[in-house]
Amino acid sequence: MNNKPQKFVSSDPKYAAIIAALRLPSDEQEAAINKALQEADVNHNIEQKGFSVNTATKEVSYYGELLPAPLAQKVFSLIQQNVPVTLLEKFWENLKQNPSYNSVRELYDFLSYKELPITEDGCFLAYRGLHDNFYSVSGNLETKVLQGAVNSKGQIYNGVGEHIEVQRNCVDDDRNNHCSFGIHAGSWDYARGWSRGKMVVVKINPKDVVSVPSDCNCQKLRCCAYTVVSEVQGEILAPATDNDGEALEDQSFKEEVGNRNKVIDRVEKYLNRKLDDGVEDVAFRAIQSCFSPDCPSMAEIADAVNALGFTWYSQEGKKFVDLR
């Protein structure tokens, strides 16, 4: 607008009004878009399945309960990537199952560092530095391992796909004990410092977090269980991933591609019928009318015609497809 590009994703409260404005005649579009932007700015709230997001105050509540700042920031990151904020619902439900008040509060400190990604099943991802053989760098023979292979030194095997679980009371819950017993995970920066040849991505359920030591800028945590997702290919920067650690796509991009394909398919069928009828010229406006009441813009029609390989021309301010 005003000769400057602006991007709006489908989760933006202005999005629907802008799309509607783009379906108007070209000489009416800019005024309609400006009006939509002005009206949308009055309302700063986004509502999605129990989540209430105030973009003005940066506050987020879930069914009336105000979320702590790190989780609110996660919601805004999801909105920016056009990933549904309801993805946080499962995470919140899992977090509520953690039996320790302190563990929950300390986890917020950990998640604040570089905003570690959450997963579709309500967990979050972190990293572990390991030996070349995938065994942990240190071990503790007194730790009761409920699931996972342990060697004679108490080191645990962390191969891809392994689920590791230890007895919760074998994990130190005092954050002031910086180096202590329990299984560990950390941020990308922290885990790299512990790597002795291998690094892996681990998925942790927030209910299994026990403590976040106060040293190292809260970049590490102790937990009682995790699953090894993959070897590290690089730091995961997406705010959310699927259950295998793959970044979730921008939903607006998927929607745009799907809508474009629908327009192209329908224009092709319409033009093929006109070819069969022996028609030589078809007005863009006629093509638009076959979509009524949800007509695509002239720009979308032109894009579809170009994609199909037809030629078109303008005459007296009107556009036509040449079917000769």
Q: Name the pLDDT band for 1 (thresholds 50, 70, 90).
A: low
Rounded Cα gap, residues 210 and 173, in angstroms: 6
Question: What per-residue confidence (pLDDT) applies to 8?
Answer: 62
Question: What per-residue confidence (pLDDT) applies to 253?
Answer: 43
Q: Name the pLDDT band for 52 (thresholds 50, 70, 90).
A: confident
Q: Name the pLDDT band for 204 (thresholds 50, 70, 90).
A: very high
Is 48's pLDDT higher than 80?
no
Question: What per-residue confidence (pLDDT) applies to 56?
Answer: 75
Q: Helix, strand, or coil here: 153? A: coil
Cβ-Cβ contacts under 8 Å for 310 (sequence gap 6 or more)? 271, 321, 322, 323
| C-alpha closest to that of 94 among 113, 130, 119 | 119
Tens of pLDDT, residue by residue over 238-254, are 888 887 777 775 544 44
Tens of pLDDT, residue by residue over 87-135, are 788 899 999 999 999 999 999 888 876 668 889 889 999 999 999 999 9
Q: Would you list the DSSP string of 173-212?
A: --TT-SS-SSEEEE-HHHHHHH-BEEEEEEEE-GGGEEE-
Q: Name the pLDDT band for 15 (thresholds 50, 70, 90).
A: low
Q: Name the pLDDT band for 7 (thresholds 50, 70, 90).
A: low
Please state the rounded mean pLDDT for residues 50-78. Answer: 84
Q: What percent of the chain has pLDDT over 90?
A: 33
pTM score, two decimals?
Answer: 0.65
Question: What per-residue confidence (pLDDT) applies to 154?
Answer: 94
CATH tag for 251-322 (out of 3.40.50, 1.10.10, 2.60.40, 3.40.1350): 1.10.10
Tens of pLDDT, residue by residue over 156-201, are 999 999 999 999 999 999 998 988 889 999 999 899 988 999 999 9
Rounded Cα gap, residues 53 and 195, in angstroms: 40
Question: What per-residue confidence (pLDDT) applies to 39?
Answer: 59
Cβ-Cβ contacts under 8 Å for 42 (sequence gap 6 or more)? none
The angle, 0 to 180 degrees and rounded to 10, between the axes of the packed helices 298-307 and 251-276 is: 70
Q: Name the pLDDT band for 45 (thresholds 50, 70, 90).
A: low
Of residues 212 and 49, more confidence is placed in 212
Domain boundary assignment for the chain: 15-80, 87-241, 251-322
Which residue in this structure is represented by tokens 């007005």? 283
| C-alpha closest to that of 145 among 175, 110, 170, 177 | 170
Q: Is the dihedral of CA 293, 299, 305, 310 positive or negative?
A: positive
Is 80's pLDDT higher than 90?
no
Rounded Cα gap, residues 163 and 202, in angstroms: 9
Question: What per-residue confidence (pLDDT) applies to 14?
Answer: 63
Question: What per-residue confidence (pLDDT) applies to 292?
Answer: 65
Q: What percent of the chain has pLDDT over 70?
A: 85
- Contact assessment for residue 322 and residue 309, using Cβ atoms and an 8 Å cutoff: no
Mean pLDDT of the chain: 83
Tens of pLDDT, residue by residue over 253-297, are 445 556 778 888 888 998 998 898 889 899 888 888 877 666 777
